[in-house]
Structure 1
Amino acid sequence: MSECECVSTCDFFNEQMKGLEAIKEMMKRRYCLGDNSDCARHMVFQELGKGRVPPDLIPNQTEKVRNIITRFRVDEGPAS
């Protein structure tokens, strides 16, 4: 696996993690540089697109992914 396509524009790392460089770099190594299949943000991105990823969703909050996707699909209604 290579670097996540979202890493340079990820709101979580660019906004939420300001001033926490050591933690930010550790989390990037874990979730962005290599296998990103465990990243909650990437899971939502793949299902719904970048604009639907909650800015405060932390990469390890995978338990929230199903609810985010379900809530979005309910709010959007059936496809035409």
Structure 2
Amino acid sequence: MSECECVSTCDFFNEQMKGLEAIKEMMKRRYCLGDNSDCARHMVFQELGKGRVPPDLIPNQTEKVRNIITRFRMDEGPAS
């Protein structure tokens, strides 16, 4: 397992978690510094790209991933 390619630029950790260093480091160990397959943010990143990851999506909110992807695809319309 390796470090997530998004960890250094992740808006959640760099913006949303300012001032919460202990919690931030605990969450990074869980979601970023090994198996990131359970990270909701990484799931959206892989499917739609970095620019489509909601800034307020928390790594453990995997139940929201399907809705985010579905909503994006509906907004995009059929492929040409």
TM range (shorter): over 0.9
Identity %: 99
Q: What runs of 5+ residues in structure 1 fail to find an aligned partner?
A: none
Question: Structure 2-normalised TM-score?
Answer: 1.00
- Please name the residue that 1:30 is paired with: 30
Displacement, 1:77?
0.3
Displacement, 1:61?
0.1
Considering only aligned residues, what root-mean-square deviation do their CA atoms show, in Å?
0.2
- Please name the residue that 1:56 is paired with: 56
Separation in 2, partners of 1:30, 1:74? 32
- The runs of at least 4 consecutive aligned structure 1 residues that moved more than 2 Å come to none
Separation in 1, partners of 2:79, 2:47? 15
Question: Structure 1-normalised TM-score?
Answer: 1.00
Q: What runs of 5+ residues in structure 2 fail to find an aligned partner?
A: none
| 1:19-41: CA deviation from partner (whole Å, max 9, x where unpaired) | 00000000000000000000000
| 1:44-77: CA deviation from partner (whole Å, max 9, x where unpaired) | 0000000000000000000000000000000000
